[in-house]
A and B are shown apart, each in its own frame.
Chain A
Amino acid sequence: MISRKTGLRLGWTALVALTTLIIIIGKSELKWAFKVPRDWRLPLKKEISTFMDWLINTADLGVLTFYELTRGISWILELPLNLATGIFATGILQGEGSAAVQLTQPVSWLAVILLVMAIGHYAQGWRLSILVGVCFTYLAVFGQWESAMLTLSSILIAAPIGVVVGALLGIFAYKWRWFEKVITPVLDLMQTVPVFAYLVPILFLFGFGPVAAMIATIIYAMPPMVRISILSLKQVPVELSEAGAMSGCTSLQQLRKVLIPSALPSLMIGVNQVIMLSLNMVIIASMIGAGGLGYDVLSALRRLDIGGGIESGVAIVVLAIALDRLSQALAERSEHITSDVGKKSFVQSHPYTTASVVMLIVISLGASVIGWLQTYPDSMTITTGDFWSDLVKYINVNYFDQIEAVKVFILLNVLGPVKRFLLMLPWPMVVLGVALLGYQLGGLKLSALTFCLMLFCALVGLWDKTMVTVYLCGISVVFAGLIGIPMGILGAENKVFGRFLETVIDTLQTLPSFVYLMPVVMLFRVGDFAAMIAVVAYSVAPAVRYTLHGIRQVDPQLVEAGVASGCTRWQLLTKIKLKLAMPEIMLGINQTVMLALSMLVITALVGTRELGQEVYIALTKADTGRGIVAGLCVAFLAITTDRLIHAGVAKSRARLGLN
């Protein structure tokens, strides 16, 4: 009987030897090992398309058809959405199209700014109030108001729906274990299948327009809410729920009065995530009729108006910052709410509501007389548009040759060789290798899972594209790590720099990548390198964030012990802090991988040839099956990486005695 360790070593040696052997024998002899034979392939694309056709055209649920059901849902969702857009953007309308009559004006821009400032003051105080005030003033001054209000109203409807449905699913999963088992893989898919892959079926089922866009947004933004709900409900101390049971709570009361209140702070993190992810979707939503800021970014892109794109993109960022800070502050406030509804009058006990209502009435009345109160005057808007175009032009004209030299060096010495190497590997060996890694890190179950997921990508005939995806994302993640981890370390060691860094990565994460895609193409040309830069820019954030967090979290006693035993600063960092923070850093890298994969569809726009391009082509040809199959491949790559890294992290945590 050989030990597990020797067995693994034997396995790896055999794998490498066999791979080398197959490569030496070569393509001409062993064709099947390099290209999956046609009759092995799964005809999944066609079947999915047929299924979708059936779902749209014939599926019948008895009382009504599936199509009618989905259309009914979108009609119901349209009501609150129309109301919100009516209040903030277009005014309440009666009738449709150009025959519609405007019944009321939208809320005045000044009133909206004062309103969010009031909420900011209520939630935290003057600092937050001024911050959100500045954010919203930006929207008015830079001429983004109308689009921003359109975007805001769709977020105001999408986010609460995402939160409520997410929380409900979370509660069900908490109550019934089987439901949790069913929903976990579904959540994985919702988070990793690129949105473009299921856009076409959504359009068919829910109709074209803001509602379909909203549903896509909800699908994308809801999963963290479900996960956080499950987690936070599980974390409620047993004593508490037992106390509830002893005082005779019914199961519903138990939920309402005990579980949810005590899980509330964590639940609010979920709310925050839903809002941020919804804002991430703004651009894609605008492709299917949501309008708003996303549309402005897209059309600026089309005109090569770099400045216009940046201004609309920044409008999305400031909206995100304002909503993020507000929701976090409200969450913190909800922790220490004391219900002292005594003998006060309504006005006394609701000073903010009263003041806001009075303010709204006064300004609305004023706005009906004074034009600039209603809409921010165009003559007062400013723009930095030319500055950005000129900046890019300056860099382009003066530094292109230097940039080109660096680019060519990296292309020829790093990107090219890695790509050729990965495409040279025989697919059965790669699948086996991943399975073996799964066994080493997690055991038989993980091994079987990763084996099946990778085999899927091969059998649907997308192996080459999968490998190009691995190459592009792999290299981008390495670069993101090389940049992000040192930045994170510096930020953890230096408080001021750390705070600066957090602002930068917040911006990078919410600034739509479309905004910097065009300058990137101008400076780096179409191709893999430009794609890599875009992926790194977007996915570096978690590498920085988790490193920062991981090092800050290291037990200070351990650091002191290091100081006492005479470590230098360098030793402290490398021998103690980094070692202990390593599991956390790896989770950051895991997130980086996820974000890199989610950027694929966007890099397809600068001409890469990977799974993202496949999804994009499927979208432009309205080929549901093709899109979903390619989307599943992306998802399976993500899930494989995620599981492997988590298993590895669990192992090293156990070794370090953490947890």
Chain B
Amino acid sequence: MTSHRTLKHLLMTGICAGALGFSNIGFSAESSDPIKLTLHDWTGQLVTTNIMAEVLKSAGYNIELVQADYIAQFAGLKTGDLHVAMEMWETTGRDAMDEATATGKVENIGETGMQGIEEWWYPSYMKERCPGLPNWEALNDCAEEFATPETAPKGRYVGAPVTWGGFDDERVEALELDYEVIHAGTDAALFAELESAYQRKAPILLWVYAPHWAPSKYEGEWVQFPKYSAECYNDPSAGINPDMAYDCGKPSGPIWKVAWSGVKDKWPGAYSAIEKFELNNDEMGQMITAIDLDGAELDNVVADWLKSNESRWKAWIE
């Protein structure tokens, strides 16, 4: 392809000349170059990626796990420096994913089977102070309960980083909620707020998503907004408020798998295995809890899953 690649190959061949060491790749005659899967910094994604990696390894592929930022990784996926990203959330990654797939260098290879849920969330102890919950209409009655000196008399809702979208400012306006939306800059800040309030049993209303360890660690519920529909987001006349869109809850969205578009030709078998990969929210939730709250080792949790689901993943690599 490029001059340095050729040079690299020449050198590598020189080094390996005596070794003849690359015949150990399994059943396929596919490339023995490593397939690079990206690792991000949340447990669920590490589990997903490690399961995929182990499955591919047992099919004889050469796998490399690379740490990369959730969004910044697209730079690498476009150029083929990175190959597969196992979790791209509809809810938070859609824009970046669309931008990347539009170039034709990155490809969406379907759902993981897990659904990202995200919505306004409150800890259970708030139900005593605001008995009407989880119905969203109770929110306005308890706005003062959720207020802080800076936002009073309005309630305070901690929203996601601005980059995640989510239309909370629009939702507050459309449903005439007496709340001020404060955007956290990152999800770590979001959960730091929750941890702090939970320790003090203090009021808090914030954006929580699943699969995540937070809904297992903290007791609480999602606010029930009018059910999401596409019309509600696009058509102002639909829904409770006749003049505005976004007068409903958030959509739950699939978690996608994305890959460099060269994967299909270079490792067709692996491509099809990745395509077939699927997990559901429950098993993922259990694994995250085992790791983050019960302190189990990630490798052991992954190994356990592989052992008890052998027929499932064997089918992916047939």
> Is the CB of A518 closer than 8 A to any CB of chain B?
yes
Give the top 6 A-B pairs by smallest Cβ distance, nearest first. Answer: A97-B34, A208-B76, A203-B75, A97-B64, A522-B196, A99-B62
Residue from A71, A98, A203, A397 in contact with B62 in the complex, judged by beta carbons closer than 8 Å: A98
Q: Is the CB of B200 within 8 A of A397?
A: yes
Chain A: residues with Cβ within 8 Å of the partner, total of 64
Q: Is the CB of B196 within 8 A of A607?
A: no
Residue from B35, B36, B53, B69 in contact with A288 in the complex, judged by beta carbons closer than 8 Å: B69
Known: A97-B34, A208-B76, A526-B182. A288 touches B189 (CB 8 A): no
Known: A71-B4, A97-B64, A203-B75. 8 other contacts (CB 8 A): A97-B33, A98-B63, A208-B79, A400-B196, A526-B185, A526-B189, A527-B182, A613-B162
> Is the CB of B171 closer than 8 A to any CB of chain A?
no
Known: A75-B8, A99-B62. A408 touches B71 (CB 8 A): no
Q: Is the CB of A208 within 8 A of B66?
A: yes
> Is the CB of B74 closer than 8 A to any CB of chain A?
yes
> Is the CB of A556 closer than 8 A to any CB of chain B?
no
Residue from B72, B183, B292 in contact with A303 in the complex, judged by beta carbons closer than 8 Å: B292
> Is the CB of B299 closer than 8 A to any CB of chain A?
no
Q: Is the CB of B71 within 8 A of A619?
A: yes
Q: Is the CB of B184 within 8 A of A607?
A: yes
Q: Is the CB of B79 within 8 A of A98?
A: no
Known: A204-B75, A209-B81. A608 touches B185 (CB 8 A): yes
Q: Is the CB of B4 within 8 A of A75?
A: yes
- Cα distance A621–B35 when bound, in Å? 25
18 A-B Cβ contacts within 8 A?
A64-B2, A98-B62, A200-B72, A200-B75, A208-B68, A288-B68, A289-B67, A295-B41, A396-B196, A400-B200, A400-B202, A408-B149, A522-B196, A526-B182, A526-B193, A608-B185, A617-B162, A622-B96
Kindly identify, within residues 51 to 89 of chain B, every residue whose CB is under 8 Å from any CB belonging to chain A: 53, 57, 62-64, 66-69, 71-76, 78-79, 81-82
- Cα distance A1–B53 when bound, in Å? 81
B217 to A, closest residue via Cβ:
A304
B-chain residues with CB within 8 Å of residue A98 when the two chains form the complex: 34, 53, 57, 62-64
Residue from B36, B71, B73, B195 in contact with A304 in the complex, judged by beta carbons closer than 8 Å: B195
Kindly identify, within residues 187 to 229 of chain B, every residue whose CB is under 8 Å from any CB belonging to chain A: 187-193, 195-196, 199-200, 202, 213
A73 to B, closest residue via Cβ:
B4
Of B22, B69, B185, B186, most buried by chain A (CB within 10 Å of CB) is B185
Known: A96-B62, A199-B72, A605-B186. A304 touches B192 (CB 8 A): yes
Q: Is the CB of A207 within 8 A of B34?
A: no
- Cα distance A71–B3 when bound, in Å? 10
> Is the CB of B95 closer than 8 A to any CB of chain A?
yes
- Cα distance A404–B8 when bound, in Å? 60
Interface string of A361-402 (1 = CB under 8 A from B): 000000000000000000000000000000001001100100
A-chain residues with CB within 8 Å of residue B2 when the two chains form the complex: 64, 67-68, 71-72
Q: Is the CB of B34 within 8 A of A96?
A: yes
A514 to B, closest residue via Cβ:
B188
Q: Is the CB of A617 within 8 A of B163?
A: yes
- Cα distance A99–B63 when bound, in Å? 7
- Cα distance A99–B64 when bound, in Å? 9
The A contact surface, by secondary structure, is helix
> Is the CB of B32 closer than 8 A to any CB of chain A?
yes
Q: Is the CB of B62 within 8 A of A97?
A: yes
Kindly identify, within residues 480 to 504 of chain A, every residue whose CB is under 8 Å from any CB belonging to chain B: none
B2 to A, closest residue via Cβ:
A68
A603 to B, closest residue via Cβ:
B185
> Is the CB of B310 closer than 8 A to any CB of chain A?
no
Q: Is the CB of B99 within 8 A of A96?
A: no
A72 to B, closest residue via Cβ:
B4
A-chain residues with CB within 8 Å of residue B24 when the two chains form the complex: 99
> Is the CB of A287 closer than 8 A to any CB of chain B?
yes
Kindly identify, within residues 403 to 430 of chain A, every residue whose CB is under 8 Å from any CB belonging to chain B: 404, 408, 411-412
Binding site for A on B (CB under 8 A): 2-4, 7-8, 15-16, 19, 21-22, 24-25, 32-36, 41-43, 53, 57, 62-64, 66-69, 71-76, 78-79, 81-82, 95-96, 99-100, 148-150, 158, 161-163, 182-193, 195-196, 199-200, 202, 213, 292
- Cα distance A75–B2 when bound, in Å? 12
- Cα distance A165–B186 when bound, in Å? 36
- Cα distance A400–B66 when bound, in Å? 40
- Cα distance A92–B126 when bound, in Å? 56
A-chain residues with CB within 8 Å of residue B99 when the two chains form the complex: 621-622
Residue from B4, B25, B96, B182 in contact with A620 in the complex, judged by beta carbons closer than 8 Å: B96
> Is the CB of A571 closer than 8 A to any CB of chain B?
no
> Is the CB of A606 closer than 8 A to any CB of chain B?
yes
- Cα distance A58–B74 when bound, in Å? 20
Interface string of A279-291 (1 = CB under 8 A from B): 0000000111111
> Is the CB of A463 closer than 8 A to any CB of chain B?
no
Q: Is the CB of A96 within 8 A of B33?
A: yes
- Cα distance A408–B156 when bound, in Å? 15
B-chain residues with CB within 8 Å of residue A299 when the two chains form the complex: 41
B-chain residues with CB within 8 Å of residue A657 when the two chains form the complex: none
> Is the CB of A451 closer than 8 A to any CB of chain B?
no
A101 to B, closest residue via Cβ:
B21
- Cα distance A72–B202 when bound, in Å? 56
Of A298, A396, A526, most buried by chain B (CB within 10 Å of CB) is A526
Of A208, A525, A619, most buried by chain B (CB within 10 Å of CB) is A208
Known: A98-B34, A209-B66. A517 touches B163 (CB 8 A): no
- Cα distance A523–B196 when bound, in Å? 7
Q: Is the CB of B189 within 8 A of A518?
A: yes
Q: Is the CB of A99 within 8 A of B196?
A: no
- Cα distance A68–B148 when bound, in Å? 56
Q: Is the CB of A302 within 8 A of B42?
A: yes
Q: Is the CB of B195 within 8 A of A96?
A: no
A201 to B, closest residue via Cβ:
B75
> Is the CB of A566 closer than 8 A to any CB of chain B?
no
- Cα distance A289–B72 when bound, in Å? 10
Kindly identify, within residues 138 to 186 of chain A, every residue whose CB is under 8 Å from any CB belonging to chain B: none
Q: Is the CB of B69 within 8 A of A96?
A: no
Q: Is the CB of A295 within 8 A of B67?
A: yes
Known: A68-B3, A204-B75, A527-B182. A397 touches B192 (CB 8 A): no
- Cα distance A214–B15 when bound, in Å? 26
Q: Is the CB of A396 within 8 A of B200?
A: yes
Q: How far is the CB of A114 from chain B (nearest CB, A)?
A: 31
Q: How far is the CB of B189 from chain A (nearest CB, A)?
A: 5
Q: Is the CB of B8 within 8 A of A396?
A: no
Kindly identify, within residues 91 to 133 of chain A, every residue whose CB is under 8 Å from any CB belonging to chain B: 94-99, 101
Residue from B62, B64, B193 in contact with A522 in the complex, judged by beta carbons closer than 8 Å: B193
- Cα distance A404–B149 when bound, in Å? 9
Q: How far is the CB of A616 from chain B (nearest CB, A)?
A: 7
B195 to A, closest residue via Cβ:
A304
B-chain residues with CB within 8 Å of residue A408 when the two chains form the complex: 149-150
> Is the CB of A457 closer than 8 A to any CB of chain B?
no
A292 to B, closest residue via Cβ:
B67
- Cα distance A97–B95 when bound, in Å? 31
- Cα distance A289–B75 when bound, in Å? 12
B32 to A, closest residue via Cβ:
A99
A65 to B, closest residue via Cβ:
B2
Known: A101-B21, A208-B68, A518-B189. A203 touches B213 (CB 8 A): no
